[in-house]
Amino acid sequence: MPRYSLNVNGRVETVECDPDTPLLWVLRDLLGLKGTKYGCGEGLCGICTVHLDGAATPSCQMDVSSVGDAAITTIEGLVEGGLHPLVDAWVEEDVSQCGYCQPGQIMAAAALLASHSPPDEGALAQAMDRVLCRCGTYLRIRRAILRTTAADNRTPATPREVGS
């Protein structure tokens, strides 16, 4: 069986699996990184979003054989080693209801803020429309994202990238 060396959250992880295995299932089943959730398997709901070299990507749409040496950041990597301003904002705004989609929401928001901080309405909609929430937490997601950018402009809440 093929072996793949993946750069996950700044560490090299080696997995053995079929080449068409989606990154989502590599993360969840083979690496035990269960913060990344399954929602649709077709790249339609965005809740399995991770970062590939900083870009928000639905992990269900990325075959393990296509990842190469791209730096993969999951929600575990994003929050590793300390508090993340988006997580704080999520807590402050009491965003979660069932909570299942929220890691994907935060990953999408973190990638957005890396390039747009503070984000204009168009950028916000484009990034966050990709991640569905059935509980209807969108208003609080919006407030939480804007809270991280409005609080202090000198230290914009750009996400900390993990990995190379």
Partner 1 sequence: MTTPRTFSRRSFLVASTSAAGGLLLSIRVFPADAGAKVAPSLAPHWLNLWVGIDPDGTVTISVPKIEQGQGVRTSIPMILADEMDARWDNVVVDLAPLRGDAAYGWQGVGGSTTIWTLWDPLRQAGATAREMLKAAGALQWEVESSECRTEDRWVIHPATGRRLSYGALARAASEQPVPRDPPLKDASEFRIIGTSRDLMESRQLAEGSAEFATDVREAGMAFAAIARAPTIGARAVAVREEGAMAVTDVEAVVPVHRGAHPMILADGVAVLADNTWSALKGRERLEVEWGESEGREETSEGLLERFRELIDRPGEVIREDGDFDAAFRDAALVHEADYEAPFLAHAPMDPGSFFADVREDRVVFRGPMQAPEDVAAIAAQITGLPPQAIDVQMHRQGGSFGRRLSSDGAAEAIALSKAAGRPVKVVWTREDDLRYGTFRPTSRHRLTAGLERGGQVIAWRHRQASTSRYGYQDSSRHPASSEFYPGDPPAGMVPNYRLEYTPVDSLIPRGPWRSVIHSQGAFAVESFTDEVAHAARQDPLELRLRLLGEDRELPYSDHGGPVLDTGRLRRVLEAAAERAGWGRSREDDRALGIAGRFTFGSYAAQVAEVSVDGAGRVTVHRIFAAIDAGIPVNPRGLEAQVEGGVAFGLSAALFNEIHVDAGRVRETNFHDHPILRFSQMPEVEIHIVDSPHAPKGAGETSVPPVAPAVANAIYSATGVRIRKPPFTPAAWRRYS
> Which residues lie near partner 1 (CB under 8 A)?
1, 17-18, 20-22, 25, 28-30, 32, 34-42, 44-45, 47, 74-76, 79, 82-84, 86-87, 90-91, 94-103, 106, 124-125, 128-129, 131-142
Min separation Cβ 103 and partner 1, Å: 4
- The token duo for 71 is 């730096």
Provide the H-helix boundaries in the chain.
23-25, 64-67, 75-78, 85-92, 102-115, 121-128, 138-150
For partner 1, give the closer residue by CB, 53 or 80. Answer: 80
**What is the closest distance, in whole angstroms, from the C-beta atom of residue 44 to partner 1 in the complex?**
4
Length of the chain measured in residues: 164
Q: How far apart are CA 63 and CA 66, in angstroms?
A: 5
**Toward partner 1, which CB reaches closer, 153 or 162?**
162
CB nearer to partner 1: give 120 or 154. Answer: 120
User: Shortest approach of partner 1 to residue 72 CB, angstroms?
Assistant: 14
Quote the radius of gyration of the chain (alpha carbons, Å): 15
Instruction: Give the number of other CB atoms < 10 A from CB of residue 51.
Output: 27
Nearer to partner 1, 11 or 134 (CB): 134
